């Protein structure tokens, strides 16, 4: 009976080590925001929505259209992420971002990590002072290749962590 207990302990230690290693992994320099303080860090589960469109050569291919995701913290829904790109907190505060730099995801199937500058704000809640958004720890979300019907859409599931920062 000790073997299952030891196996469980070994699994717990391994899991803790993996979580600690992930937390200590430095951000790629391209998306770092030195001197900025974390306002909020959330986990997102959702989809990257693609639309079938003709490319420059006239061939149909999947083109990114918009994200749709639920933002969660401590097991609770705290907001949503949608086209713009916008992030909306349950307190009504909203930020709109513009990509300033990126770094590759861990695998070719993972959307890139991003650094986004906040270009617009609404509301006076949690996100009101945010100046930068980072998208990190991405999994999934890529859809590439040809498609058959212009205007068709397809959702590619993804997850990511979003870190909201402010200067000073």
Mean pLDDT of 81-110: 98
Report pLDDT digits (tens) over 31-58: 999 999 999 999 999 999 999 999 888 8
Q: How far is CA 46 from CA 60, 67, 71, 90, 167, in A?
A: 25, 8, 9, 17, 28
Q: According to the model, what pLDDT value does residue 146 have? A: 87
Confidence label for 25 from pLDDT (cuts 50, 70 and 90): low
Q: What is the rounded CA–CA span in Å between residue 82 and residue 35?
A: 28
Residue 100: which residues within 8 A CB-CB, separation 6 or more? Answer: 115, 116, 117
Report pLDDT digits (tens) over 122-168: 999 999 999 999 999 999 999 988 899 999 999 999 999 999 999 97
Q: According to the model, what pLDDT value does residue 42 have? A: 98
The structure tokens 């600690």 sit at 20
Q: According to the model, what pLDDT value does residue 2 have? A: 42
SS3 148: coil
Residue 46: its H or E element: strand 36-54
CB 36 within 8 A of CB 167: yes
pTM value > 0.75:
yes
Mean pLDDT, the chain, integer? 88
Q: Are strands 94-103 and 132-140 parallel, antiparallel or unpaired?
A: unpaired
The structure tokens 């920062």 sit at 165
Q: What does DSSP assign to residue 59?
A: -
Residue 111's CB: how many other CB atoms inside 10 A? Answer: 22
Q: What is the rounded CA–CA span in Å between residue 112 and residue 102?
A: 6
């Amino acid at each position: 009976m000790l073997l299952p207990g030891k196996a469980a302990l070994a699994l717990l230690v391994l899991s803790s080590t993996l979580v600690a290693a992930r937390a200590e992994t430095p951000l790629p320099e391209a998306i770092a925001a030195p001197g900025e303080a974390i306002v909020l860090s959330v986990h997102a589960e959702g989809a990257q929505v693609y639309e079938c469109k003709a490319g420059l050569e006239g061939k149909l291919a999947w083109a990114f259209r918009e994200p749709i995701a639920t933002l969660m913290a401590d097991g609770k829904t705290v907001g949503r992420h949608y086209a713009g790109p916008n992030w909306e907190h349950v307190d009504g505060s909203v930020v709109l971002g513009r990509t300033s730099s990126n770094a590759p995801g861990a695998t070719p199937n993972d959307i890139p990590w991003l650094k986004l500058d906040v270009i617009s704000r609404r509301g006076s809640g949690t996100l009101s002072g945010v100046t930068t958004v980072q998208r990190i720890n991405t999994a999934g979300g890529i859809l590439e290749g040809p498609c058959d019907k212009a205007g068709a859409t397809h959702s590619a599931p993804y997850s990511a962590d979003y870190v909201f920062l402010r200067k000073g």
